[in-house]
A and B are shown apart, each in its own frame.
Chain A
Amino acid sequence: QVHLVQSGAEVTNPGASVKVSCKASGYSFTGYYLHWLRQAPGQGLEWMGCIKSRSGATSYAQKFQGRVTMTRDTSISTAYMELSGLRSDDTAVYYCARDPGYTLGHPMYDLWGQGSLVTVSS
């Protein structure tokens, strides 16, 4: 069975940072890109960026440039997304999702983590 399992919910203060993990199992971790998306309460989906699991190369949405860092540890098949300078409007469920690579350079997401709720509140 293929799975992406994310870390648990976090409550953080404004200005702080949060690091969410995403552990892959059941497939070759380094064979796929992993993307990070988020969904604010009652809202739609927003793409944040992605990481090429083999090389660690990243691409970030301009909106998050300078605040987001995506990394991975291939030895434990885990990807990480760290977001700094948190604000109340960063409160959202954060998802990792795998691109199956059906069409290189044109991602879709066939496998998702369960989501990690990050709440930013003082």
Chain B
Amino acid sequence: AQSVAQPEDQVNVAEGNPLTVKCTYSVSGNPYLFWYVQYPNRGLQFLLKYITGDNLVKGSYGFEAEFNKSQTSFHLKKPSALVSDSALYFCAVRPYNAGNMLTFGGGTRLMVKP
């Protein structure tokens, strides 16, 4: 069975500084990896995904993520954080060849301070 770990419950960063939200996964075979963001009282919004190819994936709102197969990681990054990036971020995995459900991590709250 697949699993996702987000080791930090909360990440604090100052506006304008780079941010990283960590994600590691466990899955049999090759993974499809996703990042979603959740704002208060709203549903999850898709940010980006890794399917195959280039390990650096670019997504919405200036976010990017780096797939590292040897470390089974898919960390979310942004070069310069905005206060409006403050939200709950979820990493999710789906095996390449089994099932259609997403398995989510527990989420990381990002707080960007002015």
**Mutual binders A and B:** no
User: Which residues of chain B have a CB within 8 Å of any CB of chain A?
Assistant: none
User: Which residues of chain A have a CB within 8 Å of any CB of chain B?
Assistant: none
